[in-house]
């Protein structure tokens, strides 16, 4: 690990901050890039530091568990499902020090405002989510969060076609719905060269697309 990477990891491991000084951390990348793993790692460190932590996820994401954040590698941490950013804000307790939010792209447009409000209250806010949709377009509200965050981490996956670093989420099934819950068999990581946004709008034409 290079010096720059080591310094960045140290910054992200900060678990104490001056009274009434909050901030926003955003972890973004494609599917299968380790976003949820990194979120869980930071939240566990905060818990080890005996900080009060509250963790939330969108209620519509029930792929692995309704009351846990679960990474694709099966790392887990308890969380509360909420239906909207406003509902999340209402559930954060006054003495909470760290707020964790997974799958930020599934929240409504009020999420940046909610995160700003929490940070202004002196809380550390950590949000993980996809920065691009299946077409490779910015996935709101993540771009707005990136603009206001103090700390940004970009995670990369491995391209399932060529093995290079992957920045895109390739949809393998035909669907024009922007939100289509799925894991392996529905999506895979692709690099810029191997990514084909047209695949999701065409009939399934490969074994992998239908498996």
The model carries a pTM of 0.84
Using alpha carbons, list the distances in angstroms from residue 46 to 107, 108, 164.
24, 27, 33
pLDDT digits over 28-50, tens only? Answer: 999 999 999 999 999 999 999 99
Q: Which of 112, 188, 139 is nearest to 28 (CA)?
A: 139
Question: Domain limits of the chain?
Answer: 3-155
pLDDT tens digits, one per residue of 114-155? 999 999 999 999 999 999 999 999 999 999 999 999 999 999
Note the CATH number of domain 3-155.
Answer: 3.40.50.300
Collapsing DSSP to helix, strand or coil, 120 comes out as helix
Active site residues: 103
């Amino acid at each position: 690990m290079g010096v720059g990477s080591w310094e960045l990891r140290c910054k992200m491991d900060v678990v104490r901050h001056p009274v009434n000084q909050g901030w926003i951390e955003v972890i973004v990348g494609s599917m299968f890039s380790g976003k949820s793993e990194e979120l869980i790692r930071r939240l566990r460190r905060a818990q080890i530091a005996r900080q009060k932590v509250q963790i939330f996820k969108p209620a519509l994401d029930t792929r692995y568990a309704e009351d846990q954040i679960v990474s694709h590698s099966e790392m887990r941490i308890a969380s509360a499902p909420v239906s909207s950013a406003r509902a999340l804000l209402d559930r954060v307790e006054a003495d909470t020090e760290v707020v964790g939010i997974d799958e930020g792209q599934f929240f409504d447009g009020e999420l940046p405002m909610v995160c700003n409000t929490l940070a202004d209250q002196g809380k550390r806010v950590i949000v993980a989510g996809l920065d691009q949709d299946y077409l490779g377009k910015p996935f709101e509200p993540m771009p707005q969060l990136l603009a206001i965050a103090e700390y940004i981490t970009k995670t990369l996956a491995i391209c399932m076609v060529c093995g290079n670093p992957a920045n895109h989420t390739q949809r393998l099934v035909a669907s024009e719905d922007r939100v289509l819950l799925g894991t392996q068999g529905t999506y895979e990581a692709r690099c810029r060269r191997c990514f084909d946004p047209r695949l999701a709008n065409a009939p399934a034409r490969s074994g992998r697309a239908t498996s």
